[in-house]
Amino acid sequence: MVRCCRPRANPTVPRHDLRKVRVHVQRPRGGGGGRGPGDQPPRLEGPGPGGLSRRARFRLHFPQLALRRRLGQLSCMSRPALKLRSWPLTVLYYLLPFGALRPLSRVGWRPVSRVALYKSVPTRLLSRAWGRLNQVELPHWLRRPVYSLYIWTFGVNMKEAAVEDLHHYRNLSEFFRRKLKPQARPVCGLHSVISPSDGKILNFGQVKNCEVEQVKGVTYSLESFLGPRTSTDDLPFPPATPCGSFRNQLVTREGNELYHCVIYLAPGDYHCFHSPTDWTVSHRRHFPGSLMSVNPGMARWIKELFCHNERVVLTGDWKHGFFSLTAVGATNVGSIRIYFDRDLHTNSPRYSKGSYNDFSFVTHTNKEGIPMRKGEHLGEFNLGSTIVLIFEAPKDFNFKLKAGQKIRFGEALGSL
């Protein structure tokens, strides 16, 4: 018996060659979901007589349907899981050359912004780990090589140090907080305000529209930086009011203006800071927060950087009215120490975002606060950071500075 089999008809396009089939779906412009009488149904394009068409040969075919399905699954995930899943792609997106992952944007994926990616880095945890490492005592034979490498990297001038012998410093923390020789930083007595620390002048000038410049062209809110007033009457903060009222209540004397000065401390600078003038400290406000880098490049990149970072705001009065000094923390600089404030503890493991802690130095026994003399030791950092001065002064106050210049503790900032 002979069985005759009818040959199967070859389809126009083989099933296994999916690259040669493209589906073009035109979404209707109207509000309805169905097709109108004039709409065209999905169109299949097959290969021409010579195989693939010219357009198909030179087009990058990406598995769009599969990617859309996978990316659609990401939107159903919780926010922590979504961040975890999107981080690897985002890091590769910014690191790989020639836009290797740019086709992903065609299927609806958007990388996390550089700012958001950087804010997601656990800088507080890294800073606490760095602080623990700084406390580890180094072997005697290892101190000179380690400190010499740091001196060479950041250009530290050890001739100004009170103790030049590198073997004297038991750990990195002691080396960072080294003291200077008394004659290394003479305090200028002719000018009313001096630099509280070594560093670089990022910005200075008059406060306008309740906005303070952290670098040229990048500002932050004065009220966000100093914080609102609490219910205590002896705090020198105004209540939460519009911009004009906030500034007017900081300026306590008629004819005065508000001025600001931002000083950036590099890792190689002297890390202690001093009193910039004769004044009385009446209040301390501690803002727990992030510990992002405060170098000038990062300050241009992230708006209101100083409002996000952990900081300690000291406020009080001087001979012309309101005066404040703020020590801003940074990456690996979670430890901010104020010598006369033993209750201050920075870079704690847990904190509430946007919270702050107040402490008043005005008591029943001390109704004036903590008097500080010009040049007196005030506090210290554990690497490099930023000092922000905001103070009230007459309109004829003049800064003796240039933006970007290097300055040392004791040199003049400005005078009347």
Three-state SS annotation for the chain:
CCCCCCCCCCCCCCCCCHHHCEEECCCCCCCCCCCCCCCCCCEEECCECCECCHHHHCCCCCCHHHHHHHHHHHCCCCHHHHHHHHHHHHHHHHHCHHHCCHHHHHHCCCCCCHHHHHHCCCHHHHHHHHHHHHCCCCCHHHHHHHHHHHHHHHCCCHHHECCCCHHHCCCHHHHHCCCECHHHCCCCCCCCEECCCCEEEEEEEECECCEEEEECCEEEEHHHHHCCCCCCCCCCCCCCCCHHHHHHHHCCCCCEEEEEEEEECCCCCCCEEECCCCEEEEEEEEECCECCCCCHHHHHHCCCHHHHECEEEEEEEECCEEEEEEEECECCECCCEECCCCCCCCCCCCCCCCCCEEEECCCCCCCCCEEECCCCEEEECCCCCEEEEEEEEECCCEECCCCCCEECCCCEEEEC
Tokens of 214: 């952290």
Tokens of 12: 């126009």
pLDDT band at 166 (very low <50, low <70, confident <90, very high): very high
**Mean per-residue pLDDT for 360-364?**
87
pLDDT band at 297 (very low <50, low <70, confident <90, very high): confident
pLDDT at position 79 over 80: no
Residue 413 has a pLDDT of: 92
pLDDT at position 92 over 70: no
134-148, 290-304, 317-331, range with the lowest pLDDT: 290-304
pLDDT at position 23 over 50: no
Residue 77 has a pLDDT of: 46
Question: Which residues make Cβ contacts (< 8 Å) with residue 224, sequence separation at least 6?
Answer: 304, 307
Count of CA atoms in the C-beta half-sphere (13 A) of 336:
30
The answer to whether residues 235 and 229 touch, using CB atoms and an 8 Å cutoff, is yes
pLDDT at position 251 over 50: yes
Residue 113 has a pLDDT of: 58
What are residue 180's DSSP bridge partners?
161
Residue 334 has a pLDDT of: 60
Bigger pLDDT: 289 or 25? 289
Residue 339 has a pLDDT of: 92
The overall average pLDDT reported for the chain is 74
Cα dihedral 264, 267, 270, 274, rounded to 10, equals 40
Count of CA atoms in the C-beta half-sphere (13 A) of 3:
2
* Closest-CA residue to 310 (of 227, 240, 217): 227
**Mean per-residue pLDDT for 318-324?**
93
pLDDT in tens, 48-59: 545 555 555 444
**Mean per-residue pLDDT for 227-253?**
61
Residues assigned a catalytic role? 198, 274, 385
pLDDT in tens, 176-224: 888 898 888 888 877 789 999 999 998 898 888 778 777 666 778 888 8
Q: How far apart are CA 116 and CA 87, in angstroms?
A: 11
Residue 112 has a pLDDT of: 56
pLDDT at position 302 over 80: no
**Mean per-residue pLDDT for 161-172?**
91
Query: Which of 290-294, 306-310, 325-329, 362-366: highest mean pLDDT?
Result: 325-329
pTM above 0.75, yes or no: no
- Ordered by start, the domain boundaries in the chain are 114-177, 193-228+246-415
